[in-house]
Structure 1
Amino acid sequence: REAESFKEQGNAYYAKKDYNEAYNYYTKAIDTCPNNASYYGNRAATLMMLGRFREALGDAQQSVRLDDSFVRGHLREGKCHLPLGNAMAASRCFQRVLELDHKNTQAQQELKNASTVLEYEKIAEVDFEKRDFRKVVFCMDRALEFAPACHRFKILKAECLALLGRYPEAQSVA
């Protein structure tokens, strides 16, 4: 009962876009009742809004450990993996959502986004071997649109910019 009250307060702050306060109340709800999947799911959503994808991933994973049929938990887990550049893991999460809810349009779109990132990764790998660094930069720019928190993509882009002699740009990426 107390945990539910904390969750409701968290929801109110989330609705006002006060994500730090929402985070605090969802944490209180979790501390009071640590076996509720939706509390972890709510805190994961809040952390995502704060751009804290690694922490959000942990909460999303905990939510689906507690309830494997929690659709929003699987969706949030995928939506944490993708910005971090884990497109294959994201795909698995979105596929799980579609197993649970085959009409989930958000999961369908996110699965396409994850496939796009995987495709850009493959192309970049081939082009890097061919030493076509300009094309690798292009691919990493496209991949970073979906995976803005991916250090691996940023490092590869910076490395290729440096190999192209574009040092100031390389430095600003890294």
Structure 2
Amino acid sequence: MACVSEYGSEKKMAEGGNDAELLKEKANKYFKEKDYENAIKYYTEALEVNPSNAIYYSNRSLAYLRTECYGYALADATKALEIDKNYIKGYYRRATSNMALGKFKAALKDYETVVRVRPNDKDARMKYQECNKIVKQKAFERAIASDETKKSVVDSLDIENMTIEDDYVGPKLEDGKVTLTFMKEMMEWFKDQKKLHRKCAYQILVQVKDVLSKLPSLVEIQLKETEKITICGDTHGQYYDLLNIFKLNGLPSESNPYLFNGDFVDRGSFSLEVILTLFGFKLLYPNNFHLLRGNHETDNMNQMYGFEGEVKAKFTAQMFQLFSEVFQWLPLAQCINSKVLIMHGGLFSEDGVTLDDLRKIDRNRQPPDSGFVALSLCLSHRTVGRSVSEE
């Protein structure tokens, strides 16, 4: 009987393993089609059948990386290594996750492991060198930084004496102010892929920084039952998609408010056009046009995903530094009618977080490795709304 029982158990395990492999292959198919949500679904089902397979965790980690769910990607890569400490792809996935989360020292350690085992892997070596450069740069910045010596880019600007050349025929601020006419002209100018004059761009940035710096980390608004607000997720430099939103839903106005929930830049080729348009409407309708910070309004992401390079190519490194300062003043969350909470990164992994905790966040910084600022920005990229209370 014991032999029969053992045979039956082994047969069941083999059948389960086959089922898990079929689910993995199905997930791989969705992954190749870039349907990452379904890929994650079937990798998860495969893990439910066979929870001790490092490859399944590693594959799901990569799918999470593609959807920018870096916290989940990190957890899966770590689990893969717990199952098999020699699984080199696990180190690569974990390094990539930590890199995206700004945990550069942890990432560097894993990249070192990958390079040591695979010395001829050009991609791994490139990632290692990039990460090593960032670690050294951060160490240098910490060594020379102090609150007393840190100055804003604004202090070094002389906007009033910037000259707008005679041959520039594009939109200009009216007496230094953003108007609806200016916004319409600027959107058409951008639509034709023309560059705004640097003086106008600097004027918008300096003014919006002043507006954002006066806002709380948690913005709270009240809407009447007859009022509506349009909430938009990641625009990611897709300027023509932004124009289409306004075409379908109407331009922002006092009676047509909007909330854009982070990730305005990176990936797309027109991040500057998107963010300057959004900032312009924030200046035009400060109480009816709302912006929240996403994980792509951070230096690490802008360096890796293109916005820094775009600003430097179209304008200057100095302007990117000013964008970095402005991004740090973007609010982190918004609460509507004390019932609906909106933030870019999703809800916290720790219990007991209250609205008052969000109000107290000192947000004028790059996101740390942990804490509310990191959690609200980096764990996910989905637009999230949830009913809330003060408790």
What is the TM-score when the length of structure 1 is the normalising length? Answer: 0.78
Deviation at 1:103, TM superposition (A): 1.5
The yes-or-no answer on 1:102 pairing with 2:114 is: no
The yes-or-no answer on 1:125 pairing with 2:142 is: yes
Partner Cα distance (2:123, 2:150) in 1: 35
Label 1:52 to 1:142 Cα distance change in 2 as closer, same or farther (>3 A).
closer
Which of residues 274, 298, 303 is equivalent to 1:145?
A: 303
Deviation at 1:20, TM superposition (A): 0.3
Of all paired residues, the percent bearing the same amino acid is 23
Greater fraction helix:
1
Corresponding letter in the other structure for 2:303:
E
The yes-or-no answer on 1:17 pairing with 2:175 is: no
Corresponding letter in the other structure for 1:13:
Y
The answer to whether the 8 A contact 1:30-1:36 is kept is yes
Label 1:12 to 1:121 Cα distance change in 2 as closer, same or farther (>3 A).
same
The answer to whether the 8 A contact 1:113-1:146 is kept is no
Label 1:32 to 1:103 Cα distance change in 2 as closer, same or farther (>3 A).
same
Partner Cα distance (1:127, 1:147) in 2: 27
Label 1:82 to 1:30 Cα distance change in 2 as closer, same or farther (>3 A).
same
The yes-or-no answer on 1:51 pairing with 2:80 is: no
Deviation at 1:144, TM superposition (A): 4.8
Partner Cα distance (1:122, 1:147) in 2: 22
Q: Which stretches in structure 2 are left out of the alignment for 5+ residues?
A: 1-17, 154-297, 307-320, 332-362, 364-391
Per-residue deviation, residues 52-103 of structure 1 (Å, max 9, x unmatched): 0111001001111111221111111100011111111111101111232221
The yes-or-no answer on 1:34 pairing with 2:51 is: yes
Deviation at 1:142, TM superposition (A): 6.4
Partner Cα distance (2:57, 2:86) in 1: 14
The answer to whether the 8 A contact 1:60-1:77 is kept is yes
Label 1:56 to 1:141 Cα distance change in 2 as closer, same or farther (>3 A).
closer
Q: Which stretches in structure 1 are left out of the alignment for 5+ residues?
A: 149-159
Corresponding letter in the other structure for 2:129:
K
The answer to whether the 8 A contact 1:82-1:90 is kept is yes
Partner of 2:77: 60
The answer to whether the 8 A contact 1:121-1:143 is kept is no
SS of 1:172's partner is: coil
Corresponding letter in the other structure for 1:20:
E
What's the Cα RMSD here? 2.6
Deviation at 1:132, TM superposition (A): 3.4
Partner of 2:132: 115
Greater fraction strand:
2
What is the TM-score when the length of structure 2 is the normalising length? Answer: 0.36
Deviation at 1:106, TM superposition (A): 1.8
Number of aligned residues: 154
Partner Cα distance (1:147, 1:89) in 2: 20
